[in-house]
């Protein structure tokens, strides 16, 4: 079931990122303590009045003065029109209504999408009159908010969730493996889709997916059903959407949300860049099974050590995804392409795997016996019980005497021991620590 998407748009410096962080709150915090985990997220998930939604901040784009400002603002608005279900249009109560605001409003109005106008920087009751000129934008009652003080956020969220559509139901059976392809521009996403389908030659049909302007392609291989969710090459407009990751994050997010397995493509010719880690981080944080696919391997000059050296660089740069298998291939020549779908099928099974409770407790007990938890101010962590409570991703709850005594490093040690016993290859493993109660 795909979550609806809320996009925050507006011209630069109106406070989009501040409001985004207010809405996301602690959910944005990343608990990884390893290099290579990027900290600057521009998307997240939130819940209000029983409705869960994805939210994207289209701000933070570095721009020059003059006409470039208008081009950037227009691009953000067009992104929201294309991808979002509901739009929060942020304006600046201190600066008042500007020509740039009116330009964005015209674009949003023609879209027919639900739009909620949020007038930021209304930091005290004396400034409430500043909202009235924004009625002229034509989107109903503007809402006065203050990012710095946090006021008006609940009123804003009330309006946003009222305008959200119901989550869309998926049209595929449970036995279908949904595979999303993500990656920065020019890594070969479309070429890989064409190579997979061209080799298998058993396409069932092309059907429109729930992701706008994307095509879901179902096919079968050796009796196993797959659906490729392609996020590449579907734009009708110019290349402005490919100039920065921030313009394509919504497409990747929607594809990831609907997938079972995510193929993170890396361009072998160009090597690993920071944006690759950003994109991989989306799949990691969404808890999806993942495969790191090094494409264009045919174009690399190599000897018997080249692949191993490249793999070591990937492991160093993607330490937060050490569980993800790596596949080297060429979509152009179909070199090593036959290795990909068996890996996809394997990690999908691992992603949905459930282990028996008594086996899990045996492994945890052995791990504690070999390496007891350290003491903290005279107190020692005691793990009473472990149980798997969910799949996709596998989620394990540890009932303990005091959750605050669980250090991150010890939690990672237990995760490693669990992976040694049960593999869980290709999938994140979530460990939740709870205080043991009498009911437990």
All structural domains of the chain with their residue ranges: 5-163, 177-351, 357-435
pLDDT at site 396: 97
Q: Is 12 within any annotated ligand binding site?
A: yes
| pLDDT per residue as tens digits for the range 143-162 | 999 988 889 999 999 999 99
Q: Is 267 within any annotated ligand binding site?
A: no
pLDDT at site 2: 67
Q: Is 379 within any annotated ligand binding site?
A: no
Let me know: does 6 contact 86? Beta carbons within 8 Å. yes
Q: Is 124 within any annotated ligand binding site?
A: no
Q: Is 13 within any annotated ligand binding site?
A: yes
Sheet strands side by side (includes 383-390): 383-390, 395-400, 430-435
CA distances from 163 to 5, 63, 85, 113, 211 (A): 11, 31, 9, 9, 19
Q: Is 123 within any annotated ligand binding site?
A: yes
pLDDT at site 407: 92
Q: How confident is the model at residue 126 (pLDDT cuts 50, 70, 90)?
A: confident
Strands 224-230 and 215-221: antiparallel
Q: Is 184 within any annotated ligand binding site?
A: yes
Domain at 177-351, CATH class: alpha beta
Q: Is 207 within any annotated ligand binding site?
A: no
Q: Is 57 within any annotated ligand binding site?
A: yes
Mean pLDDT of the chain: 82
Q: Is 417 within any annotated ligand binding site?
A: no
First to last CA, the chain: 31
Domain at 357-435, CATH class: alpha beta
Q: Which two tokens stand for residue 420?
A: 């040694």
Flag the least confident range among 33-37, 65-69, 163-167, 279-283: 33-37
**Segment holding 265, helix H or strand E:** strand 261-267
Q: Is 6 within any annotated ligand binding site?
A: no
Task: Reply yes or no on whether the pLDDT at 425 is more than 60.
Answer: yes
Sheet strands side by side (includes 43-48): 43-48, 51-57, 5-9, 86-92, 115-120, 143-144
Q: Rounded CA gap, 352 and 287, in Å?
A: 12
CATH superfamily of 5-163: P-loop containing nucleotide triphosphate hydrolases (3.40.50.300)
Q: Which residues contact 426 (CB under 8 A, 6 or more apart)?
A: 261, 289, 290, 291, 323, 324, 325, 343, 346, 347, 350, 351
Closest among 133, 229, 135 to 189, alpha carbons compared: 229
Mean pLDDT of 238-246: 42
Q: Is 36 within any annotated ligand binding site?
A: no
The DSSP symbol for 276 reads H
Q: Is 327 within any annotated ligand binding site?
A: no
Q: Is 189 within any annotated ligand binding site?
A: yes
Q: Is 10 within any annotated ligand binding site?
A: yes
Closest among 151, 155, 154 to 142, alpha carbons compared: 155
The answer to whether 5-163 and 177-351 have equal CATH topology is yes
Closest among 295, 222, 221, 287 to 260, alpha carbons compared: 287
Q: Is 232 within any annotated ligand binding site?
A: yes
pLDDT at site 207: 39
pLDDT at site 410: 96
Q: Is 437 within any annotated ligand binding site?
A: no
Q: Is 297 within any annotated ligand binding site?
A: yes
Q: Which residue has the higher pLDDT, 339 or 285?
A: 339
Phi, psi of 296 (to 5 degrees): 65, 30
Q: Is 202 within any annotated ligand binding site?
A: no
Task: Reply yes or no on whether the pLDDT at 377 is more than 90.
Answer: no
Q: Rounded CA gap, 265 and 143, in Å?
A: 42
pTM over 0.75? The answer is no
Q: Is 17 within any annotated ligand binding site?
A: yes
Q: Is 436 within any annotated ligand binding site?
A: no
pLDDT at site 69: 57
Percentages (nearest 5) of helix, strand, coil residues in the chain? 40, 25, 40
CA angle at 12 for the pair 7 and 16, rounded to the nearest 5°? 40
């Amino acid at each position: 079931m795909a979550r609806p998407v809320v996009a925050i748009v507006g011209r630069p410096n109106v406070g989009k990122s501040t409001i985004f962080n207010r809405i996301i709150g602690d959910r944005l915090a990343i608990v990884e303590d390893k290099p290579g985990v990027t900290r600057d997220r521009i998307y997240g998930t939130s819940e209000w009045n029983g409705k869960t939604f994805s939210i994207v901040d289209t701000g933070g784009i570095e721009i020059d003065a003059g006409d470039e400002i208008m081009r950037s603002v227009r691009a953000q608005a067009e992104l929201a029109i294309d991808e979002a279900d509901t739009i929060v249009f942020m304006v600046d109560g201190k600066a008042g209504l500007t020509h740039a605001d009116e330009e964005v409003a015209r674009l949003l109005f023609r879209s027919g999408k639900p739009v909620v106008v949020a007038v930021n920087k209304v930091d005290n009751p004396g400034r409430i009159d500043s909202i009235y000129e924004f009625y002229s934008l034509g989107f109903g009652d503007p809402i006065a908010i203050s990012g710095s003080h946090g006021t008006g956020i609940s009123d804003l969220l009330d309006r946003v969730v009222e305008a959200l559509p119901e989550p869309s139901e998926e049209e595929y059976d449970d036995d279908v493996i949904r595979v999303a392809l993500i990656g920065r521009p020019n890594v070969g996403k479309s070429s890989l889709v064409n190579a997979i389908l061209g080799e298998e030659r058993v396409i069932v049909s092309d059907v429109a997916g729930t992701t706008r302007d994307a095509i879901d392609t179902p096919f079968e291989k050796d009796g196993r059903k797959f659906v490729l969710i392609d996020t590449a090459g579907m734009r009708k407009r110019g290349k402005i959407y490919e100039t920065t990751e921030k313009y394509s994050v919504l497409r990747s997010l929607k594809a990831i949300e609907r997938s079972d397995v995510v193929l993170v493509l890396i361009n072998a010719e160009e090597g690993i860049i920071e944006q690759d880690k950003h994109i991989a981080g989306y799949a990691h944080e969404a808890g999806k099974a993942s495969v790191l696919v090094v494409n264009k391997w045919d174009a690399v000059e190599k000897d018997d050590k080249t692949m191993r050296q490249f793999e070591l660089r990937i492991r160093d740069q993607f330490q937060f995804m050490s569980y993800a298998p790596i596949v080297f291939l060429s979509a152009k020549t179909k070199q090593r392409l036959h290795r990909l779908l068996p890996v996809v099928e394997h990690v999908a099974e691992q992603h949905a795997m459930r282990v028996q409770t008594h086996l899990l407790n045996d492994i945890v007990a052995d791990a504690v016996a070999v390496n007891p938890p350290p003491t903290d101010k005279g107190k020692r962590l005691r793990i009473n019980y472990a149980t798997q409570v969910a799949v996709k991703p596998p989620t394990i709850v540890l009932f303990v005497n005091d959750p605050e005594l669980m250090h991150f490093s010890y939690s990672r040690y237990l995760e490693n021991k669990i992976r040694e016993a049960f593999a869980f290859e290709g999938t994140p493993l979530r460990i939740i620590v709870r205080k043991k109660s009498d009911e437990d």
